[in-house]
Structure 1
Amino acid sequence: MSPSLAGNSTGAKKAGIPDNQLNFALEPEAAAIYSKNMSMKKDGTSLEPGTQFILADLGGGTVDITVHAIDMSGNLIELHPPSGGPWGGTKVDAEFNTLLETIYGKSVISSFNKDNKDDVLYMMQDFENKKREFKAEDDEVTFRVPCTLIEALKSSGRTLEENVSGTIYEGKVKQKGDKMRIEGSIMAGLFYDVERNIIQLIRDVLTQHPKVNKILMVGGFSESNIIQQAVKKAFPQKINIPEQARLAVLKGAVMYGHNLSVIISRSSPYTYGISVAVPFEFSKHPESKKVYKVGSYKCESNFKVFIRAGEVVFPGKTTVRHVCNASSATSASVEIDRTKSNNPT
């Protein structure tokens, strides 16, 4: 169990949930289970036995990419462990905040964020709606500006026009009363890095799994029109967005709780093993690791591999056996190491 899962387990016990009623669902797997079940309800995803599909979980903070296949019994086989990066919806929020700092001034936005929590929340909720609705062909986007921000700008002794003069926003960002209007090209620019990285992540995985014939987008950020447009343009024949995509992880986790056997195998994201000492070889081992033990020279700190990255494992069935010489007759502490490398030394 990972540290994060162990912590969640402790929290569950404090909440009164016994171990025999608690299971952990991995988010990409939960989303894949939901997508598979929705395809059985004829939503257009057509995940028939033999299908290999990419599951792109576009959330708030991160984007997670996995590859699954459906076997002839309808169970899921993980072909590619979760990979991704910090290219979720909050990255666009950060770009929007940078835009606000430019057009209103850093000190104005800093004090506004600190002193007007309710108005900040209101403004970001408005931006969240626009972020979801905006399309690449839109000429303009209008936001309502809280009175407290308008007053803060006045108190700074500068106008919005003065702040944007000489910047890329000159003539493209305007404020009239409590409304701020920005050109569509400026709004689209907030998504540029996110679009580019999501598409590249998917492209990299497709290169490793050329038999993939479906790309499913789930998660709240997948409901953004401009993200949908960009990904569909890059992969026109493969994209599907299941019904209620933002709830895919939640609903898939419930489905997994009713049928834990639906995931029959996983692809190990890391190489796992332990540190061992082996007979020292002058042509192979560094002198710094040379020690004399039990009548001969040994090389310490060798990585003995138990499971390699990318190797298929079967939950509850895959086992590894290793016999250790314990310093105590009653207990032993064994450190398990991990790495992305397939052949660590």
Structure 2
Amino acid sequence: MRSEFVPLVNASFDFGTHASGYGWCEHNVDDEPTLRKIRTFDQWPKQPVPSVKTLTALLLDRDGEVIAWGHSAHQMWVEHRADRRDKGWRYFHGFKMSLARDDAEPGRYRSMALDDREDDPEELITKFLGCLFRHVLADLQASGYEETDTRWCITVPAIWNEHQKAIMRRCAQRAGFPHEDGRLILAYEPEAAAQHARVTNVMVTDADGQSREVFNVPGRRFIVCDCGGGTVDLTSYQIEPDRSMIEMGSVSGEARGAKYVNKAIEEQVLVPRLGGLALYAKLQEHCPEGIEDLLAAWERAKLNIGVDHNRPVYLPITMALAKKIPPRVKRALAAGQDGVDDAIVITPAEVATAFESVVERICALVSEQLRSLTADAELDHGPTVVLLVGGFAASPYLRQRLIDHVGGEAVVLVPPDPQVAVLAGAVHFACRPATRARRSRRTYGISMCMDFEEGVDLESKRDKDTADGTDRCTDRFAVLVTKGDLVPNGSEVWIDGQPVHGDQTAIRVRFSAARGAVPRYVDDPECEYLGRVKVDRSPVMHLHLNDRGIRVYMKFGETEVKSRVVLQATGEEREHSFDLLTS
């Protein structure tokens, strides 16, 4: 058994749709979390104002080589229009949201992308993570630490499935992160935010004006609503007597981040005001800085918009952009905006529509979590708390809308630094995860050969050519864990398997998940193939058939599903592959 890796440093990456950043601290096994000194970086090249995050953006040449990344990529893209045309430069931003795969079209990706149009985002993610990794490594080395001293942690949305998490791990490893187990870990974004809130001891004020602890009180339940640039993730927790956390209810979330409000403004206001999709695309090509200025003006205005907003928002049209707008479009613009043709005028109703296209669904998701969480809650532990974090949590509109929506059902808390909560919490997670148990996201199982049941099993599944002469049914779905089961962190479930045929030199086991009810077979329509466990049995072929059985162990209580395989006869752990990238 390999010894556990003990780092000198824990470094975390908050890989976001809009922006990304990192933090790190020295590792001390017996440290007090409140005394950890987390170091961040807020002096990114070309950034407009100091921030712990830089843009999740890349500027590539025609050969796919990185010219610039972060804020530098955006600035060079805007300022070097000729190089785009002459040198084939390409700019990418928002590519994290391209990671939602469309099962109906293998190898393709759903149009959740925000600004890029790439079918496969893996190369972009790998390149960006590589740039960020090298930057952090230089920071660590300047403080006397090396890559081999470090445990690395990357945050992922809680709604990411096993395949998407496996892609993130593969991208990170290709970018330079370590391959060894325990040296690179993934953390759910809401869970990281919860850790940050607990360490900083965020308080809630009762109706009588008294401040009370929330996140370290045994029995207390709370919801983390992580609203970032691309996704909204919701996870519920309860504090245990030992002050650890367990998940309550099911994880929920959608592609409903702040960038989708911007997208709504662009699609519902800017595109029609500027002559339609075809002309808008031409303006983006021939006057990108003008379009960028409009979007930047909206981004600034958005920060001060609340639910009671009742004034138009004016986005000035630069002189350069005005020269590119055809006269007919200018006339139509003025006619529709009470004579104003030097700005895009967004009415209060249009502002509300854009926000509600995202916020209404966020409120509904919070209500769903509240219903499941408060069904059997203890009243003496105080009101349920909704912890609102992420970059979008800074929006006055979202804050007030959510407060109004939950009414007296819950208390909405926003920490002083909502955009840093996930980043800092991921460092605490890497130091010492506080979650003792998690809910299984789905019903998971593996393929097994079982006794054939006459009149029940399909004849096409009958296997007569078995070593013991017994008819077996192939492809049966053997349940490992059921959706909603509370699985302790570090615990394993296991299932035994014997070779059916005497000449089997390898065992390939399908790993699957049920979409609804538990299926009978792993290839049923309601069963989703996730990957496979493969075990080479050639080293044990000299043993008696009954001694070649294996026991497959699976862990479901951590961020990623993990496996190990042992030989039943000796308890010896066998080398195997667990591939979640083949679905």
| 3-state DSSP of counterpart to 1:244 | coil
Q: Structure 2 CA distance, aligned partners of 1:152 and 1:31? A: 46
Does residue 244 (structure 1) correspond to residue 417 (structure 2)? The answer is yes
| 3-state DSSP of counterpart to 2:449 | strand
Q: Tell me what 1:46 maps to.
A: 214
Letter in 2 for 1:37: V
Q: Structure 2 CA distance, aligned partners of 1:208 and 1:76? A: 17
Q: Tell me what 2:519 maps to.
A: 344
Q: Tell me what 2:271 maps to.
A: 101
Deviation of the 1:176 alpha carbon:
4.6
Structure 1: any 5+ residue segments left out of the alignment?
none
The 8 Å contact of residues 55 and 216 in structure 1, kept in 2 or not, is answered as yes
TM-score (norm 2): 0.53
Q: Tell me what 1:254 maps to.
A: 427
How many residue pairs get aligned? The number is 334
Letter in 2 for 1:248: A
Deviation of the 1:184 alpha carbon:
1.3
Deviation of the 1:65 alpha carbon:
1.1
In structure 2, do the counterparts of structure 1 residues 89 and 37 end up closer, same or farther at CA, with 3 Å as the change threshold?
same
Does residue 78 (structure 1) correspond to residue 247 (structure 2)? The answer is yes
**Residues 174-200 of structure 1 deviation map (CA, whole Å, 9 limit, x = unaligned):** 6353x3332212211111221221111
**Residues 194-227 of structure 1 deviation map (CA, whole Å, 9 limit, x = unaligned):** 1221111112222222237111111111211111
| 3-state DSSP of counterpart to 2:197 | helix
Which structure has more relative contact order (CA 8 Å, sep 6+)? It is: 1
Query: How many percent identity over aligned positions?
Result: 24
Q: Tell me what 1:6 maps to.
A: 169
Superposed CA RMSD: 2.7
245, 258, 261: which one pairs with 1:92? 261
Q: Structure 2 CA distance, aligned partners of 1:49 and 1:115? A: 60
In structure 2, do the counterparts of structure 1 residues 129 and 332 end up closer, same or farther at CA, with 3 Å as the change threshold?
same
Structure 2: any 5+ residue segments left out of the alignment?
1-161, 206-212, 378-382, 521-583
The 8 Å contact of residues 275 and 301 in structure 1, kept in 2 or not, is answered as yes
**Residues 2-54 of structure 1 deviation map (CA, whole Å, 9 limit, x = unaligned):** 42243145136x2568655433222121011112223x254657332211111
In the TM superposition, what are the counterparts of 1:275-290 in structure 2 within 5 Å?
A: 275-290=447-462
Deviation of the 1:282 alpha carbon:
4.1
The 8 Å contact of residues 439 and 484 in structure 2, kept in 1 or not, is answered as yes
The 8 Å contact of residues 291 and 321 in structure 2, kept in 1 or not, is answered as no
Letter in 2 for 1:269: R
The structure that is helix-richer by fraction is 1
Q: Structure 1 CA distance, aligned partners of 2:474 and 2:508? A: 17
Q: Structure 2 CA distance, aligned partners of 1:196 and 1:215? A: 16
215-224 vs 295-304, which deviates more?
295-304
42-51 vs 63-72, which deviates more?
42-51
The 8 Å contact of residues 247 and 437 in structure 2, kept in 1 or not, is answered as yes
In the TM superposition, what are the counterparts of 1:1-345 in structure 2 within 5 Å?
A: 2-11=165-174, 14-15=176-177, 21-38=183-200, 40-42=201-203, 46-47=214-215, 48-98=217-267, 99-106=269-276, 107-140=278-311, 141-153=313-325, 156-160=326-330, 162=332, 170-171=336-337, 175-177=340-342, 179-210=343-374, 211=377, 213-237=384-408, 238=410, 239-260=412-433, 262-294=434-466, 295-325=469-499, 331-341=506-516, 343-345=518-520
The 8 Å contact of residues 270 and 344 in structure 2, kept in 1 or not, is answered as no
In structure 2, do the counterparts of structure 1 residues 299 and 76 end up closer, same or farther at CA, with 3 Å as the change threshold?
same
TM-score (norm 1): 0.86
